[in-house]
Structure 1
Amino acid sequence: MLTQFSEDITFLKEGVRDFIDNEVDPLAMEIEETDSIPEKILNMSKEMGLFGLSIPEEYGGIGIGMVGKCAIYEELGRTHNGYTTVIGAHTGIGSVGIVEMGNEEQKRKYLPKMASGEMIGAFALTEPSAGSHATNLKTTAVRKGDKYILNGSKHYITNAPIAGVFTVMAVTDASKGAKGITSFIVEKDFPGFIIGKNEKKMGLHGSHSAEIFFEDCEVPVENVLGEEGQGYVNALKILANGRAGLAARNLGSCEKLIELSINYANERIQFGKPIFEQQIIQHYLAEMATETEALRSMTYRVAEMVDQEKKVIKEAAMVKLFGSEVYNRVADKAVQIHGGIGYIAEYPIERFYRDARITKIYEGTSEIQKNIIAAQLKREYLS
């Protein structure tokens, strides 16, 4: 089904496209070389409301729903993936938990500042012993009076160096397994909260990740997100909600790679004619375009299901799996079409190729997505 965007979403989408083409893309090499997003770009993003995509209007955001968010993510995916990740991690897993599970007091305290970009959000689940095995958390939270005392650590936390508020999962009752995990809203200035050094990564330059540590970190009882013992369920909901958005970002990157590849193939002359005339190049482009179109359909179908509040555990895993795999295949073919230039760091193809690789790992590996899909199929067909 062809997704039709409202006039408001279309207007915003066109504005973001102009912003990406005229402001962000010209600075992509600077972002890559300096490993930082220019303050000018971040400030313009805040003024456009990009940090408030997930947040309802009553709290200062745009609140455009998942289809609308995917329309914007698709445009953001066309540019430097490090910049896109800063926005995506904040508007996705960094803020969705408070929007969906926060009480009114929590929403009024945090969401306006998150919508304006004054306070950046991050999501803290992964630990050294709890990656794909997400229930194997070692970070603990013990209630003492009107506070919980957190001890432990998290790693690979996107936006950690710039974030002001974190959605953190910790064990409140180890005897209950997954049902003994609770989610908390933790501010960077809480006593006992420490942010480690930036991790050096293969890609996503400008988007920084770091370890975070809890050393008798004091978190007020009122900062429990949802109910005690519901943290793992909350984490699954947050991650599932964000997977359509991640697929949309991958979609935009695929579109940009196809565009760059077509232009290059039409300009590059070999054997007296553009390489676009070579059948193998045509086949590469046809495969890239076909898979990207399939990704578009799947992405917006899942987004519509989210907006309709339908169960999307299986479909969200499918679109995350398919989106990351397609992005990597499209990036690989784009390098092949460009030949030697595709391997040179001065050109964007090399950057997209490196950035694509993480999409098969973060927010749930491709293998974990297959496990989720298989488990849902078992429930559907064998229960």
Structure 2
Amino acid sequence: MFATLLNKINEAKLLPNISDTERQALEAGSVWVDGQFFSGNPDFGAMMAESYPQLSAEEQAFLDGPVEELLHMVDKWELRETRRIPEHIWQFLRDKGFFGLIIPKEYGGSGFSVLGRSAVMMKTSGLGPIGTLIVIPNTLGAAELLIAYGTQEQKDSYLPGLATGEYVPCFGLTEPTAGSDAASIKAEGVVFKDDDGEAKIRLNFSKRYITLAPVANLVSLACSLHDPDNLLGKGEHPGISVVMLKKGMEGLKLGDHHLPISAFDNGTIIGEDVVAPAADIVGGADGAGQGWRMLMEQLGGGRAVSLPAGGVALAKASAAAVGPYSIVREQFGIPIGLMEGVEAKVARIAALTYTMESARIYVCAGVDNDNHPPVISAILKQQTTEVGQQLVIDGMDIMAGAGVMQGPNNILGSGYISAPVSVTVEGANILTRTLMIFGQGAVRCHPYALPTLNAIQEDDVPAFRKAILGWLGHSTVNFFRGIVRSVTRGRTVSSPVKGETAQYFRKLGWAASRFAFMTDLAMFLVGGKLKQRGKLSGRFADALSWMLFGLTTLKRFEAEGRREDDLPVVHWALRYSLLQVQQAFEGIYANFNVPVIGWFLRYPGRFWLRINPLSTGPTDAMDRAAAASIQKPGEQYERIALGGLGTPRDDEPGMGRLLHAWRLVSAAQGPTLKVRKALHKKQIKAAGLVEALDPAVEAGVISADEAGQIRAAETARLAAIQVDVFDKDDYYHDALADNGEQEAPRFDRAANQ
């Protein structure tokens, strides 16, 4: 019976076929808490027991010392205008060890944890090309690959120079015809034996979008290796390999720039008959053909580090700016942050910033504990970059004119411009959401899917029998479990905590049961077509993503001591997260286009979803308390918003002057309220607040000291809401050459029409 069933499944192509590169991607890394959601019955006790660490003393000292010093050294506006990193900044980065955060101490690096590196990247992400210069040497590339896979000789040769900044690395992967489909790269390396009998590789390639390529002197090049004489002992076509190349090699061209929308060093790498020793394959001869596995394994953890750090930094920057700005900026005689429309956006920024930071720390800690979860990392990359982008857009809406007028005092403009870069790199988010998260997760993280697929491809009837019976039992249990949890609204789910947040564990358990059963339906009934059903897969990805964020939000709340003042933010974030899961399920039910079951899901199923929802989202009444968490100076504002971004000085433009004004305005709220009440009751008469101060002192409404306090606050307030003004020469950038003649334009409009 099972042999017949196996044959019919193969004939009908009910399950997707897995290519060799897809198999390597599927088997790379590890299953972590994502497997708990696919099980349908998450062990929340175990998931909450995952570590949620703080930085080590050494890492914190680095952030408080060299990183903070760097923030105050950089003129961000000048850097943006010139696109050139000054030499003294380069030297500072070398001297202070910024290039060796990932490298073990025995090779001259700092050996920071994943969380430590993420914290440095988050804090420096606002420095444009300097932040990028710090990220690339400390994430996927030469150092990470060599540490994990390099020969001892390669480690001894390259790692000390990478740690000191002697080597500036770049990673040559993307090509004009190979982006997210990196397995189809055209770069070719042909192995041959030179006149001395040494095995070498002749490389020809054209790479683009390579970050740091114009300033790099060490390239980790991904290529397809061809070994016609089997000199490496891996056959004629070993497969994708990574080869180390140094600047100056004949035929290797570096130096040309692309111009990203937020300027950082990015460009092309061209190779024409570049000859490299076969010994420079990462891992030596044993590493030949292992490049795809190396990349998939490192990306499994790498996506959890640099891009999420930048995405969370965008969210924090928005929270750090709009909380104070919404109080400093007044319209119609009141702070705009007290207007309900603005208040709703401030609340969302505060709550989702809290959640994104919780996920960053939770996942970085997981990677530090030797988990390399490709699905979780893909979720973190896709969601933090998109949520960060959306929160910056919300912040721009709140700051209005101050958000769109460029200059040294613009706080969010550079983040708004740079956000699309993070969305597109290391796998465009569209494909990450519609192909990777659920496509990989459904096969790899499901307890029975991969064993079943393996048995089918290997035509192994006993293994198939065991796997398919287990799968059917798993699906049946989740079907009935889901019904019980739906009818009881999750009350049968065990919560590892008591109190107000226990309800959310119950709802997450309820959602997980539904998710697991619907995954089985999709695998059984849509089968091999899931690869083409990106919209459906994307909704499954959304459900999984926001269940994860619900979990990490709860973990942060517990790990930080169940702070009572954080509850408004936690409630807002959890209700929002569950709403995203609810909407994902509604979309799945509405578009599950299979006979009979599809009709049932579209009509009675969706009706039941709507009258028995996981969440209807945050209520209007919840916005005020959530917004207030970042609208008043204090420890909570530091933790949710500004913490991790650095501390600007009062005399610095942008955030510095805004925070200075905010503190003065907040301190003067009491006396200001007295004057406004007196004006309202007509105890004093004046055209405005400042004009009312002297009459208010004379009438005994406030003291002279309080009047001075209000004057200082109002002066700072006015300064903080001003935008930059440029004279004609500065505005038009009329650059003059050394001989006093106007420099020729760098872009010929007529030639490009």
Query: 1:93 touches 1:239 (CA, 8 Å); kept in 2?
Result: yes
SS in 2 for 1:181: strand
Q: Deviations over 1:169-220 (max 9, x none)?
A: 10114999996111111111222111252111211x2x21111111000111
The letter of the residue matching 1:15 is G
Matches within 5 A, 1:1-383: 2-24=52-74, 27-77=75-125, 79-94=126-141, 95-145=143-193, 146-173=199-226, 180-195=239-254, 197-203=256-262, 205=263, 207-226=264-283, 227-245=287-305, 246-346=307-407, 347-370=410-433, 371-379=435-443, 380-381=445-446, 382-383=449-450
Identity of aligned residues (%): 28
**1:16, distance to aligned residue in structure 2 (A):** 4.5
Q: Which amino acid aligns with 1:250?
A: G
2:213–2:265 contact (8 Å) kept in structure 1: yes
Give the CA deviation at 1:3.
Answer: 2.7
* Distance in 1, Cα, partners of 2:395 & 2:227: 48
**1:178–1:325: structure 2 CA closer, same or farther, 3 Å change rule?**
farther
- Partner Cα separation in structure 1 for residue 388 and residue 402 of structure 2: 19
Q: Identify the range of structure 1 (51-60 vs 259-268) with the bigger mean alpha-carbon deviation.
A: 259-268
Structure 1 SS opposite 2:296 = helix
Q: Judge conservation of contact 1:54–1:91 (CA < 8 Å) in 2.
A: yes
Q: Cα 1:266–1:174, aligned 2, differ >3 Å: closer, same or farther?
A: farther
SS in 2 for 1:42: helix
Q: How many Å apart are 1:118 and its aligned residue? A: 1.6
Count of aligned pairs: 378
For the Cα contact (< 8 Å) 2:114–2:365, is it kept in 1? yes
Rounded to whole Å, the distance in 1 between the matches of 2:226 and 2:347 is 53
Q: Does the CA-based 8 Å contact 1:181-1:231 persist in structure 2?
A: yes
Aligned residue type for 1:161: P
| TM-score, normalization by structure 1 | 0.93
| 1:315 Cα offset (Å) | 0.9
Amino acid at match of 1:166: V
Shift of 1:130: 0.2
| Whole-Å separation in 1 of the counterparts to 2:293 and 2:259 | 31
Cα deviation, residue 321, structure 1 = 0.8
Structure 1: 4+ residue segments shifted above 4 A: 174-179
- 1:160–1:195 CA contact under 8 A, matched in 2: yes
Letter in 2 for 1:260: A
Q: Deviations over 1:16-61 (max 9, x none)?
A: 452244223xx10011000112222222122221111111111110
The 1:313–1:68 alpha-carbon spacing in structure 2 relative to 1, beyond 3 Å, is: same
Task: Tell me if the contact between 2:299 and 2:374 (Cα under 8 Å) persists in the aligned partners.
Answer: no
Alpha-carbon distance in structure 2 between the residues aligned to 1:37 and 1:279:
43
Distance 2:88 2:315 in 1: 26
Q: 1:19 to 1:373 in 2, by over 3 A?
A: same
Asked if the contact 1:20–1:75 (Cα under 8 Å) also holds between the matched residues in 2, the reply is no
- TM-fit CA distance, 1:149: 0.5
Deviates more, 1:14-23 or 1:100-109: 14-23
CA-to-aligned-CA distance 1:155-182 (integer Å, 9 cap, x gap): 0100001111111110114999996111
| CA contact 2:297–2:372 (8 Å) conserved in 1 | no
Structure 1: gaps spanning 5 or more residues? none
Q: Distance in 2 between matches of 1:269 and 1:152?
A: 57
SS at structure 1 position matched to 2:402: helix
Distance 1:8 1:241 in 2: 23
Alpha carbons of structure 1 residues 303 and 188: separation in structure 2 relative to 1, 3 Å: same
| Alpha-carbon distance in structure 2 between the residues aligned to 1:20 and 1:270 | 37
Q: 1 or 2, which has the higher strand percentage?
A: 1
- Aligned residue type for 2:223: A
Alpha-carbon shift at residue 238 of structure 1 (Å)? 3.1
Q: CA deviation at 1:288?
A: 1.3
Q: Which amino acid aligns with 1:376?
A: Q
SS at match of 1:244: coil
- One-letter code of the match for 2:155? K
Distance in 2 of aligned mates of 1:178 and 1:74:
41
**1:86 corresponds to which letter in structure 2?**
L
Q: CA 1:118/1:312 → structure 2, altered by over 3 Å: closer, same or farther?
A: same
CA positional deviation for 1:239: 2.6
Q: Displacement, 1:320?
A: 0.5
Q: Which amino acid aligns with 2:185?
A: L
Contact 2:396-2:404 within 8 A present in 1 as well: yes
1:287 CA displacement: 0.9
Distance 1:289 1:150, change over 3 A: same
| Equivalent residue letter for 1:208 | D
SS of residue matched to 2:267: strand
What SS does structure 2 have at the residue aligned with 1:75? Answer: helix
Decide whether the 8 Å contact of 1:119 with 1:165 is kept in 2.
Answer: yes
Cα distance in 1 for partners of 2:396, 2:247 equals 41
Letter in 2 for 1:18: E
Change (3 A) 1:177 1:67: farther
Deviation by residue 1:55-85 (Cα, 9 ceiling, x = unmatched)? 11111100112121112222112x2232211
* Distance 1:178-1:292 versus aligned 2 partners, 3 A rule: farther
SS at match of 1:129: coil
Structure 2, gaps ≥5 residues long: 1-50, 194-198, 229-234, 451-753
On the 8 A contact 2:225/2:238 being kept in 1, the answer is no
- Could you tell me which amino acid in structure 1 is paired with residue 64 of structure 2? E
Aligned residue for 1:54, secondary structure, equals: coil
